[in-house]
């Protein structure tokens, strides 16, 4: 167990190191002068040169990388060029937002996706399966920006049930804040539920056909108990991996949803940073995202370790 | 066999239901199921006609501010900050400067000496009293080249040595060259008045850092997200009811929304007032009892610009040929239907510098364009590449122009770039679609864009005669004489400059009908302290 854990963490650290070098290298190659960017169009060239010196931009790349990475390890991601405030503070706030949205999205879609997939898998070939498969295919095929706009038009403009803009308001009541998040979560979830349901369905259908399930049924164990005690545990291995892979996407890749609903999350922050040539923020944010991605993989591996005895003993 | 039939039946049934659903739910035309409007269209004031106090104004702003020193703002994010820290004067829709932190002013005959009288009894929100020392400090700060403020360009007729303190509430300015339009320069987004010594970090988020004399105090600020302003209880200006302004208690500004969100927010009562873009105006106009839409013609232009210092555009015949291919009315109808037609000079007809007598409305003339090109050495036409930033109507403008120009043998290759990439080198493109916000007076824009070597001269146009006329106009205080000079200036721009301007772009404002706005709007609607809510 300990060996396994150390192994995984070691791999994670190595991945982070390589990614950090990649990110830094890409930032190097991009032809933008951070000092000019910071001071704006009207500043004199002298002021820009002075700032370049202060920012240490005239030192060779490996030295700068070293400084940057040692700062990062101490928790200092530098200052955003555009906002002129610590990257860490900006990213922390946005990360919390994205995690909230992702967390709520997960809480909504995992039970539903798994449940739908199970029902479909158990009744393979029969009407419930057909209907669920059709609906999940539909959900999967409609892209997030399209379903988002449909939902805004239907629920916000025509029905007026939910607000079309989801900017968090610290003064609002819990109910109001909850109402704001329903539409974005729905857009996120619809995409995912379809995908998860299909994966679970396949996994479940396969498990139901396996020998040990047939043995259990033949032994006389009631069907419900067979499913709960034996089938589910094995059927959930594949969907679990899928869910874990999706965590990364949910936290950083939901830019479409964040832009549509004006939700100030991490994806939006990085998009704006890219559009504004804010290199420091981009680098810091990307590193954080990568860390989340790699860390969830480690968590997934540990989870699988416990779920799948073959990993434990094989 | 049976299950196959069942499958196909289910499939067809679901599909039919879906299609039926889609066809019956048409777009919202006559009966939008929007929430009931709370107030009727007529009463935009309370029964007594007096302002109503209280309430929270909710709005959004395209770009949230972030500058530590608003004087260095070059993008206009700081418009919001003018509610916290004021400028010396303010200019309404009628383009007349009015007192704000300046109580009154005098200008000498030759327009070289300005005497500014400050308001007395005004305090900053950190209890410091406002006086001449603050004003002088601000002028010095704006003119300091190390600061990098665009105010230095706007005030380039003033040197730091020309600023004189007469007494605690009087400042005298001795200009290097005459300028009768000084006041208009003191009213732009970088001209917020800081206390002597300046701000450390205006938008730090700590209310104590946002020091100003304005009607609102900063309550909270989250970068790129949200800013909350609350009433300044010690504000020095009084409202129509004899009590200190502002009328509303709170203003919540959130970071820019896209058009769909703006539409949803106005219809769904999430916002009280905002500035929508052209795309959703027709939709907003479908709610006449609930949403008021206003149109502002501010002199904002999105010209096609040519580099007058580079071939082929250094030949005035080529420049005029490119102007002659425009069917202005058609371009306007397709690209900016609510804006006025433009005739290649950048002076709106509402501006004091506009000269109707010499404004030539040149029609489309393909033959003449071809002839001019042939004369200039391009008998078989010419190939050009047009660069432009993405987003909004510039793309359709470029498309329409390209097709019109093709008939004269001018083949244009359109190159759309992401906004930051385009604006990063906007002074270098040879042939591009630019943008310039309207300024009052229009001569301010002419100064910024057409004087030899000026900072924003993206066409690199240089005409000594024009510069001389501009200098003379600046120095002339007599209105009639100045008008004559403006006529000459307008003609030069129309006949000789490197701009193709078929329309003036329009900005819009939209508000709930229970929001009372001041009749004298300016700055696209940031006079929140003069706005009140009816419920």
Name every chain A residue with its beta carbon within 8 A of the beta carbon of B152.
42
- Note the pLDDT tens digit of each residue in B23-32: 444 433 333 3
Q: So what's the pLDDT on residue B45?
A: 43
- B105-128 mean pLDDT: 92
* Cβ proximity of B164 and B171 under 8 Å: yes
- Do residues B483 and B358 lie in contact, with contact meaning Cβ atoms separated by under 8 Å? no
Residue A276 · residue A82 · CB < 8 Å: yes
What is the complex's ipTM, to 2 decimals?
0.74
Length of chain A (residues): 314
Q: How many percent of chain A have pLDDT more than 90?
A: 4
- Identify whether B47 is preceded by a cis peptide bond (ω within 30 of 0): no
User: How is residue B294 written in tokens?
Assistant: 């206003």
Phi, psi of A279 (to 5 degrees): -60, -45
- The answer to whether the beta carbons of residues B118 and B131 sit under 8 Å apart is yes
Give CA–CA dist A165/A180, Å, rounded.
Answer: 7
Q: What are phi and psi of B350, to 5 degrees?
A: -85, -10
Q: Is the peptide bond before B142 cis (omega within 30 degrees of 0)?
A: no
Q: Is B358 on the interface with A (CB under 8 A)?
A: no
Lookup: tokens for B420: 């930051």
Name chain A contacts of B261, Cβ cutoff 8 Å: 152, 164-165, 260-262
Name every residue in A having a CB less than 8 A away from some CB of B.
39-44, 47, 82-85, 90, 93, 125, 127, 130-131, 134, 149, 152, 154, 156-160, 163-165, 167-169, 259-262, 264, 269, 272, 275-277
B224 reaches A (C-beta below 8 A):
yes
Closest to B493 (Cα-Cα) out of B323, B367, B340: B323
Scan for tokens 């007598």, then name that residue.
Answer: B357
User: Which residues are within 8 A (CB) of B383 and not within 5 positions of it... i.e. 6 or more apart?
Assistant: B410, B411, B412, B413
Structure confidence at residue A38 (pLDDT): 66
**How far B270 CA lies from chain A's nearest CA (Å)?**
7
The secondary structure of A264-275, three-state, reads: CCHHHHHHHHHH
Alpha helices (runs of H) in B316-414, residue ranges in sequence order? 316-324, 328-335, 366-375, 394-406
Give yes or no for B11 touching A (CB within 8 A): yes
Out of B33, B254, B418, the one facing A159 most closely (by C-beta) is B33
User: What region, left, alpha or beta, does residue A75 occupy, with left being phi > 0 and alpha being psi -120 to 50 degrees?
Assistant: left
Q: Chain B residues with CB inside 8 Å of A42's CB?
A: 72, 74, 148-150, 152-153, 455
Which among B34, B152, B268 has the least Cβ separation from residue A163? B268
Hey, is the C-beta of B32 within 8 angstroms of any chain A C-beta?
yes
E-assigned strand segments in A245-293: none
CA nearest A40 in B: which residue?
B74
Query: Which residues 109-168 of chain B have a CB within 8 Å of chain A?
Result: 145-146, 148-150, 152-153
Could you tell me the pLDDT band of residue B18, with boundaries at 50, 70 and 90? low
pLDDT at residue A164 is higher than 90? no
Q: Is A278 exposed, middle or buried (0-12, 13-18, 19+ CB in 10 A)?
A: buried
Least confident of A164-173, A177-186, B451-460: A164-173
What is the nearest CA distance from A287 to chain B, expressed in angstroms?
21
pLDDT per residue as tens digits for the range B333-345: 998 888 889 999 8
Min Cα separation A134/chain B (Å): 8
B 463-522 residues inside an 8 A Cβ radius of A: none
pLDDT of A94 strictly over 70? yes
Are the C-beta atoms of B432 and B426 separated by less than 8 Å? yes
Straight-line distance from the first to the last Cα atom of chain B, in angstroms, rounded to the nearest whole number: 67
The CB density around residue A217, as the number of other CB atoms within 10 Å, is 14
- pLDDT of res. B36: 29
Q: What is the pLDDT at residue B25?
A: 45
Residues of chain B numbered 370-399 and touching chain A (CB < 8 Å): none
Given an 8 Å threshold on Cβ–Cβ distance, is B7 in contact with A130? yes
Chain A residue numbers touching B150 (CB-CB < 8 A): 42
Nearest residue on chain A to B419, alpha-carbon basis: A275
Query: pTM of the predicted model, to two decimals?
Result: 0.77
Rounded CA-CA distance B20/B421 in Å is 46
Separation of CA B151 from chain center:
16
pLDDT of A125: 83
Number of Cβ atoms within 10 Å of the Cβ of B382: 19
């Amino acid at each position: 167990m300990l060996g396994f854990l150390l192994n995984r963490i070691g791999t994670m650290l190595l991945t982070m190191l390589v990614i950090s070098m990649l990110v830094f290298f890409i930032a190097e190659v991009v032809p933008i002068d951070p000092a000019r960017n910071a001071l704006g169009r009207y500043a004199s060239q002298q002021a820009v040169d002075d700032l370049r010196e202060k920012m240490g931009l005239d030192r060779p790349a490996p030295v700068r990388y070293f400084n940057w990475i040692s700062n990062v390890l101490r928790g200092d991601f530098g200052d955003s060029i555009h906002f002129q405030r610590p990257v860490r503070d900006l990213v922390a706030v946005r990360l919390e937002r994205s995690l909230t949205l992702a967390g709520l999205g997960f809480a909504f879609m995992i039970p539903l996706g798994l449940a739908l997939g199970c029902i479909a898998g158990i009744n393979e070939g029969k009407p419930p399966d057909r209907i669920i498969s059709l609906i999940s295919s539909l959900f999967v095929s409609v892209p997030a920006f399209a379903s988002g706009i449909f939902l805004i038009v239907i629920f916000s403009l025509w029905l007026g049930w939910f607000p079309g803009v989801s900017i968090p308001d610290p003064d609002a009541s819990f109910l109001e804040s909850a109402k704001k998040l329903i539409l974005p979560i729905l857009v996120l979830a619809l995409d995912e539920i379809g995908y998860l349901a299909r994966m679970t369905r396949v996994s479940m259908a396969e498990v139901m056909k396996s020998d040990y399930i047939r043995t259990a049924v033949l032994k006389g164990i009631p069907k419900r108990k067979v499913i709960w005690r034996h089938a589910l545990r094995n059927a959930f291995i594949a969907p679990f991996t899928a869910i874990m892979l999706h965590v990364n996407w949910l936290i950083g890749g939901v830019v479409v949803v964040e832009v549509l609903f004006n939700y100030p999350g991490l994806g939006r922050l990085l998009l704006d940073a890219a559009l504004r040539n804010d290199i420091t923020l981009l680098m810091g944010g990307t590193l954080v995202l990568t860390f989340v991605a790699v860390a969830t993989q480690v968590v997934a591996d540990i989870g699988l370790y416990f779920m799948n005895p073959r990993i434990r003993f094989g | 066999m049976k299950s196959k039939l069942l499958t196909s039946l289910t499939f067809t049934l679901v599909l039919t239901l879906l299609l039926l659903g889609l066809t019956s739910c048409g777009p919202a035309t006559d009966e939008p199921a929007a929430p009931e409007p709370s107030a009727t269209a007529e009463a935009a004031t309370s029964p007594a006609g007096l302002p109503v106090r209280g309430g929270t104004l909710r709005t959004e702003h395209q770009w949230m501010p972030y500058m530590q020193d608003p004087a260095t703002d070059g993008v206009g994010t700081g418009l919001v900050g003018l509610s916290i820290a004021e400028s010396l004067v303010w200019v309404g829709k009628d383009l007349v400067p009015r007192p704000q932190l300046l109580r009154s002013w005098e200008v000498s005959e030759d327009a070289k000496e300005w005497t500014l009288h400050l308001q007395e009894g005004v305090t900053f929100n950190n209890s410091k009293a406002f006086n001449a020392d603050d004003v002088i400090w601000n002028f010095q700060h704006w003119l300091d080249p190390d600061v990098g403020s665009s105010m230095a360009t706007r005030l380039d007729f003033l040197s730091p040595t020309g600023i004189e303190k007469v007494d605690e509430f009087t400042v005298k300015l001795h200009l290097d060259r005459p300028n009768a339009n000084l006041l208009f320069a003191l009213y732009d987004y970088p001209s917020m008045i800081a206390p002597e010594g300046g701000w450390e970090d205006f938008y730090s988020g700590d209310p104590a850092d946002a020091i100003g004399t304005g009607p609102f105090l900063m309550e909270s600020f989250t970068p790129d997200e949200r800013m909350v302003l609350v009433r300044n209880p010690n504000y020095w200006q009084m409202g129509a009811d004899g009590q200190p302004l502002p009328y509303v208690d709170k203003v919540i500004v959130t970071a820019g929304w896209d058009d769909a969100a703006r539409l949803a927010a106005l219809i769904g009562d999430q916002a009280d007032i905002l500035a929508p873009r052209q795309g959703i105006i027709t939709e907003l106009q479908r709610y006449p009892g609930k949403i008021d839409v206003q149109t502002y013609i501010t002199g904002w232009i999105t010209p096609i610009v040519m580099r007058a210092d580079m071939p082929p555009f250094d030949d005035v015949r080529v420049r005029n040929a490119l102007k002659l291919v425009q069917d202005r009315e058609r371009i306007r109808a397709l690209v900016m239907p609510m804006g006025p037609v433009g005739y290649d000079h950048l002076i709106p007809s509402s501006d004091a510098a506009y000269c109707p007598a010499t404004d030539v409305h040149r029609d489309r003339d393909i033959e003449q364009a071809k002839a001019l090109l042939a004369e200039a050495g391009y008998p078989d036409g010419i190939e050009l590449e047009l660069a432009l930033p993405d987003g909004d109507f510039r793309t359709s403008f470029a498309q329409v122009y390209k097709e019109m120009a093709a008939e004269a043998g001018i083949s244009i290759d359109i190159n759309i770039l992401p906004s930051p990439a385009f604006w990063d080198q906007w002074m270098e493109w040879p042939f591009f679609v630019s943008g310039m916000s309207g300024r009052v007076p229009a001569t301010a824009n002419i100064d910024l864009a057409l004087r030899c070597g000026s900072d924003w001269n993206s066409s690199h146009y240089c005409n000594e005669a024009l510069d001389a006329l501009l200098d003379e106009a600046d120095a002339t205080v007599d209105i009639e004489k100045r008008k004559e000079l403006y006529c000459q200036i307008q003609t030069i721009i129309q006949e000789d400059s490197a701009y193709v301007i078929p329309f003036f772009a329009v900005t819009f404002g939209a508000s709930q009908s229970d929001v009372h706005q001041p009749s004298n709007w300016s700055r696209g609607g940031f006079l929140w302290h003069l706005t009140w809510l009816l419920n």
